[in-house]
Amino acid sequence: MAALTTTVVDLSQESARDLNSALHKASPGTSWHVTHPGGAHNLAVGLTTGLDVVIDGPAGYYCAGMNQRATVTVHGNAGTGVAENMMSGTVRVRGSASQSAGATAHGGLLVIDGDASARCGISMKGVDIVVGGDVGHMSAFMGQAGRLVVCGDAGDALGDSLYEARVYVRGKVKSLGADCVEKEMRAEHVAELAGLLKSADRDDDPSAFRRYGSARELYHFRVDNSSSY
């Protein structure tokens, strides 16, 4: 049942620690509205229950880090490491995100309506990330699982040292990283991508995207290379 009331936390009056402490004690299903965030770091971090948290303004580093089950929406830009190590739930940034968005995240959905900068989805381990704009260099670096969808362009070295994360890009890719290759966009991928775009409330045409993945040349040891060690 949807919460009937929303608790307002004014960060011009209370600290990020006060906010997080209150959120950690909150009952599942409750709604929270955070005002005057002023780009403070570590907002709504370590949530474990199905809360709905709206941050009304810019957030600093590690916003919604380690999130489980909660829905966190930032009405502004987010700093480094938004939703880093997220396990489940949804994090949405209405503006743009700085470096390492969704780093090492295991699950859940991260949506960034604007751009994400360098290393978006670095070492992603199962999270789904949908970026409405562009991503910076070395995005999906060492991505192990999950899907990264880029509706704009990708910077240098996309998918460098990629394991099994899947990457979809609509725009231009400046360059591919080591062991990242373009792959055929089969019907199952179009369907998968359509689902991801829908979950991010986007209406982009899935057939306009290209798919990238690991050539799997790098992460299996090749005996021919043994003399290099």
CB 125, min distance to another protein, A: 21
Residue 40 and residue 79: Cα distance in Å, rounded? Answer: 9
90 touching another protein, by CB under 8 A: no
Residues sharing a CB contact under 8 Å with residue 54, sequence separation 6 or more, in sequence order: 31, 32, 33, 34, 73, 75
Which CB, 50 or 57, lies closer to another protein? 57
Count of CB atoms within 10 A of residue 191's CB?
11
Q: Which stretch binds another protein (CB under 8 A): 48-56, 83-91, 112-120, 221-229?
A: 112-120
Which CB, 57 or 107, lies closer to another protein? 57
Residues sharing a CB contact under 8 Å with residue 97, sequence separation 6 or more, in sequence order: 77, 78, 79, 82, 112, 114, 115, 116, 117, 120
79 touching another protein, by CB under 8 A: yes
* Both tokens assigned to 45: 């971090």
206 touching another protein, by CB under 8 A: no
Which CB, 156 or 179, lies closer to another protein? 156
Q: Give the residues lining the site for another protein (CB under 8 A).
A: 38-40, 57-58, 60-61, 77, 79-80, 96, 98-99, 115, 117-118, 136-137, 155-156
